[in-house]
Amino acid sequence: MTEAHGRFAGKSVVVTGVAKTNGIGYGTARVFAQEGAELAIVDIGDAVHDCGERLRELGCTHVTCHTADLMKADQVQRVASEVLAQHDKVDVLVNNAGLVLYGTEEEVRSFQDLSEESWDFGIAINLKTQFLVTRAFVNHMIERGYGRIVNVSSVTGPNVANPGESAYCAAKAGVLGMTRGLALDVAKHGITVNAVGPGWISTGSSLEGEQVGALNTPMGRGANPEEVGRLIAFLASDDASYITGQLVVIDGGNTIQEYKGPSDLYY
């Protein structure tokens, strides 16, 4: 599966949030593996080791697995030290971890019923994680004069919103703001920083309502995780060397349509 002549041959890539084989993180790791990358995959759950074994079975010969609570600075720094010790360098960082802790479900609650604890958790898992992980690697990239950082935001927050998801919306909008601020801070150091905004994605976490929403996109389906992974890989490649500080939406055209009901009733 790993190709010596791929776009990422000789590149070391860190991907967070890789504990589900049907999620965006694993799909993204597969894409990078297909293009020759050396991988370091990170998640809070021990299932990250199973994902690493699957990648090895597919031919990715150099993949290391790391567990950490990315909301805790000391654990993030430990993982960063492990990764640099085992890979010597980091060329690409993909901040995908977020939404919920592995093995739990998202809390959906109206803003007026949202506790301070729930708000803080939503911001921490979706925004602080990306801040801490990026901070742990960005100085290394600055010293080397090269780096590609891709943050997984969402259309939810920067473009649209859902009821009961105020904290998530705020955090994902914050990811975009952080992306743009960081892009300016590191642009002269050979580092690009971009964000992707997925819409309805068909993952193991998709709820029934999300699956119905995906069916009512212009394309009539949700994206598969590797479609998101291919966009992330493009932004992380030298093909995107003059793109920075951008949010690239991948939602099958959903946010550009006004009518979002069954298409046979309108078009």
Q: Is residue 4 domain-resident?
A: no
Q: Which of 102, 146, 168, 242 is catalytic?
A: 168
Show the domain range for 171.
12-265
Q: Is residue 7 domain-resident?
A: no
Q: How far apart are CA 203 and CA 109, in angstroms?
A: 22
CATH number at residue 58: 3.40.50.720
Q: Is residue 2 domain-resident?
A: no
Q: What pLDDT is recorded for position 100? A: 66
Q: What pLDDT is recorded for position 3? A: 41
Q: How does residue 139 score in pLDDT terms, banded at 50, 70 and 90?
A: very high
Q: Is residue 157 domain-resident?
A: yes
Q: What pLDDT is recorded for position 46? A: 94
Q: What angle do CA 129, 130, 133 make, to 5 degrees?
A: 85
Q: Is residue 6 domain-resident?
A: no
What are the backbone dihedrals phi and psi of residue 33, each rounded to the nearest 5 degrees, phi first?
-60, -40
Domains in the chain, number:
1
Q: Is residue 117 domain-resident?
A: yes
Does the annotation count 168 as an active-site position? yes
Q: Is residue 26 domain-resident?
A: yes
pLDDT digits (tens, 9 = 90+) for 190-228: 999 999 999 999 876 677 888 888 888 999 999 999 999
Q: Is residue 3 domain-resident?
A: no
